[in-house]
Structures are given as C-alpha cells and as structure tokens.
Amino acid sequence: MLMMAFAAQQGLEMLKVISFLLALLACNNSFAQSNSQHGGTPGSFDFYVLALSWSSGFCETTGDRQGKRQCDTGSNIGFTVHGLWPQFERGFPTDCGFAARSPSQISLQKTIGVFPDIGLARYEWRKHGTCSGLSPGDYFDAVKEARDKVIIPQNFQMPKTEQVWSPAEITRAFTSSNKSLRADMMAVTCKRGILEEVRICFEKDLRSFKTCPEVVRQGCRSGDVNVPSVR
C-alpha cells in the first residue's frame, strides 16, 4: 500500500510538470505569433520602423560570407537602408500579398541609392512593403522619405577609422542631431559586439518620430560596440 501511494504521488507530480511545460509551450507559441503575423492585412498597422544598417558592420558579421557587393573595398557606404517596416504596438505583420503586386523595373529604379542593392529592395517589398497598403512605387517613395528625415551624426558620416561607442552614446548622437527624436523612439542593435543597425520609429504618416517600447527593448545591451570604418 505504501509503495502504491508513493507511485501515485510520483505520477501526480509528473502530471504537474507536464502541464507546466505544455502551458509554457503554449505561451511561447502565443508570443511568437504575436510578434510576427504572417499574411496580415495590407495597411493595417500602427507605425513604421526605419532600419538603418551600418554597412561595414553588416559586412563583418554577415555580408562578407554572402559576397555582397556593398562590402567591396571602395564602396564607401556608411548607414544604408535595411528596410521600412510596418509595425504593431506589439509584433509586426509580414508577407501581406506579394504575388499580386510585384514591383516593376520602374518602381525599383527608385531604390537606387536608398537600398544597397535591388535584391534587398525586392525582398523588403515582399516581406514588409506588401503590408504597407501602398503600391510598390509609393512604398519605395515612403522609404526614401523616411530616410531623408533622419540626419546622420557627423561622427558616422564616412569614418575612415574604426570607432568604439556605447549604445547609449550612439543614441545620444542621433537624438542630438535630430530634433524631436528621443531615446524612447529608437534602438541601437549589435551583433557579436559590432554595430548592426539603428532603428527609428515613425508615425504612420511619417511626419514625426514615435515612441516604441517594444522596439527599444530589442536594443543592444553591450557595454561598448565596435563601429568598423567604411570600406
């Protein structure tokens, strides 16, 4: 009888553990779904995130292995557009109907000098632009409009030597250079201790910057980050 009671107790404890793990898995799945909503409704979002990639940082962590042309010596690219992303207050939509609205060569011409290459522009249109509710041409116009509203701090305009900055210092450089931009409206991201991106939040009409707590939480937590010189 004692052994049977012990076995029953052990079984009860095991059921509790399994129930806990199942609840945790459901919670994680719910969180993942809330952060990325594949096939959302075009035009249904709360604000934009402009992602500005530090080109030579991208090259050191990813681009060199992929043979990206932007990583060639003499490319002279500092911050370049990674994308303009429709965003919810929590999570974001993706892939909102690419097949029906592929960008034409005329609309892709608008991306020259904005994106580092047309291949990235096509990808960003498919994943994010289709969720904007805009035509391809209008979306690429919006990307350029957002980029042109951001003043790049002097220290990040084609530096020829490697620099070391803390994420907070990079944030202050951008907020000092851009009127109305605050630390709670942007994030500095890094990868392997190297500057990856500066992400700046805009209102849906692109007229002003916007607070974005979830984006800010994605920022780099490193004490210092390396900022490789332009190539």
- Give 10-residue mean pLDDT values along the chain (231 residues): 46 47 40 61 96 97 92 95 97 82 90 96 95 95 98 93 96 97 98 96 98 97 93 93
- Catalytic residue at 124? yes
pLDDT of 100: 56
CA distances from 44 to 3, 102, 171 (A): 60, 19, 29
For the chain, what is the largest distance between any 2 Cα atoms, rounded to a whole number of angstroms? 82
Number of Cβ within a 10 Å radius of residue 166: 14
pTM: 0.82
> Among 13, 38, 124, 197, which one carries the catalytic annotation?
124
pLDDT of 9: 53
pLDDT of 24: 41
> Among 60, 128, 196, 197, which one carries the catalytic annotation?
128
pLDDT of 6: 41
91: which residues sit within 8 A by CB, 6+ positions away?
Answer: 33, 34, 35, 36, 37, 214
> Among 60, 82, 196, 197, which one carries the catalytic annotation?
82
- Catalytic residue at 38? no
pLDDT of 102: 82
**What's the sign of the alpha-carbon dihedral 11, 14, 19, 20?**
positive
**What's the sign of the alpha-carbon dihedral 190, 79, 82, 58?**
negative
CATH second-level architecture of 45-227? Alpha-Beta Complex (3.90)
SS3 content of the chain, % helix, strand, coil (to 5): 45, 20, 35
pLDDT of 208: 98
Give the residue extent of every domain in the chain.
Answer: 45-227
pLDDT of 59: 95
